[in-house]
Amino acid sequence: MTALTRLRLKDFRNYESLSLDLDGRHVCLFGSNGAGKTNLLEAISQLGPGRGLRSASLSELTRHGAEGGWTVSANLDDRRIGVGLETDGGSAKRVIRIDGAPSQAGDLAELVRIVWLTPAMDSIFRGGASDRRRFFDRQVMAHIPSHGTAAARYERAMRERNALLERGHVDPAWADAIETRMAEAGAELAINRASVLESLQAAVDARPEGYFPKGDLSLEGEAETSAAAGEDFKTIFESLTETYRSMRRRDAAAGRTLTGPHRSDLKVIHRPTGMVAGDASTGQQKALLIGLILASATALAGDGGGPAPLLLLDEAAAHLDANRRAALFDELSALPGQSWLTGTERFLFDAFGDRAQHIEVDAGGAAILA
């Protein structure tokens, strides 16, 4: 099983310094509210691409009162990996190490893949499209790490376009240049999303029937629809370019870009009832989401080349009844990557038994109990 066997934190959130040596089983963290359980998962999430489990900025992660930056280092199977924020006078930058040597984010992404579920995701089916899009883009990033940089390029170009339109007299050549960059990044986003949606749906379909129901997924967005239909990059790019050009007047009036992959939505149907997921009960939505995350981990594990994903489940067990908890632990045990779970009470993880290590987290410290 792909697993973290050592985790060291320095000046990360409430941890001044923490050192955990693990034996490679799954990990259950329990402890009272505010003890630092989610912070531990967040630390691990920094090893993956993007901003981690709480989308925090790098400096927010520094322990209050600490002198410099923070570090998270770990042994993942036989590799030593680490990330951190290094401060030097006024400047601060993210640094990455692999086996002791300074490295690039892309190299780290080849070694570690992480999927997570947090209580904040509970509302994605009811909330607006942006929450679902962010959730889905997270899954896409776990499969395709460059998705994050494509999204950043898209956002940057869009901000420039919005600023240009706001100014009134638009220089068409300038707008063309910006829209070309948007369409390039946008076509990449759409193709990434459509391809990951397909493997995610396949993984959902292949899951056993049980407590975590299946969903039918689709992407609502013109570019994604084209990508799903097999259109190539050039066709999607040209179509986006045309859309942006023809929308200049309306976008200028609206003060923002009204169409494009930044508006796409993930539609989820709760298969057992045929209802849009947002209309399902709270418990049904939660179970559906757990099923989706399990499918995401399975899809990653099955896509050849890359490492098996680590799974971070923040408070996933707390709202499940005993049967569902046991079913969750059984499913996690069948995955090829280590799972990390949190909860306020130790008994929540009883059914995991000796398939997991049980660790008590207590105000910036952690003790392995079993």
Ligand X SMILES: Nc1ncnc2c1ncn2[C@@H]1O[C@H](COP(=O)(O)OP(=O)(O)OP(=O)(O)O)[C@@H](O)[C@H]1O
Q: Which residues bind ligand X (CB under 6 A)?
A: 13-14, 31, 33-39, 62-64, 344
As measured in angstroms, the least distance from the Cβ of 318 to ligand X is 9
Choose among ligand X, Mg ion, none what residue 333 binds, the Cβ cut-off being 5 to 8 Å by kind: none
Strands (E), the chain: 4-12, 15-21, 26-30, 71-76, 79-88, 91-98, 101-102, 114-117, 215-220, 265-270, 275-276, 310-313, 339-343, 356-362, 365-368
Whichever of 38 and 357 has its CB closer to Mg ion, that residue is 38
Please classify residue 104 by burial: count the beta carbons closer than 10 Å to its beta carbon, then call 0-12 exposed, 13-18 middle and 19+ buried: exposed
Residue 34 assigned as binding residue? yes
Whichever of 43 and 164 has its CB closer to ligand X, that residue is 43
Residue 38 assigned as binding residue? yes
Choose among Mg ion, ligand X, none what residue 257 binds, the Cβ cut-off being 5 to 8 Å by kind: none
As measured in angstroms, the least distance from the Cβ of 119 to ligand X is 8
Residue 322 assigned as binding residue? no
Phi, psi of 282, deg, nearest 5? -55, -45
Phi, psi of 263, deg, nearest 5? -110, 0
Whichever of 299 and 348 has its CB closer to ligand X, that residue is 348
As measured in angstroms, the least distance from the Cβ of 234 to ligand X is 46
Choose among Mg ion, ligand X, none what residue 115 binds, the Cβ cut-off being 5 to 8 Å by kind: none
Whichever of 34 and 106 has its CB closer to ligand X, that residue is 34
Q: 3-state DSSP call for residue 158?
A: helix
The pair of structure tokens assigned to 199 is 């493997």
| Contact criterion met (CB below 8 Å) for 40 and 29 | yes
Q: Which residues bind Mg ion (CB under 5 A)?
A: 38
Q: What's the Rg (C-alpha) of the chain?
A: 22
As measured in angstroms, the least distance from the Cβ of 269 to ligand X is 31
DSSP state, residue 309: P
Which residues line the annotated binding site for ATP? 31-38
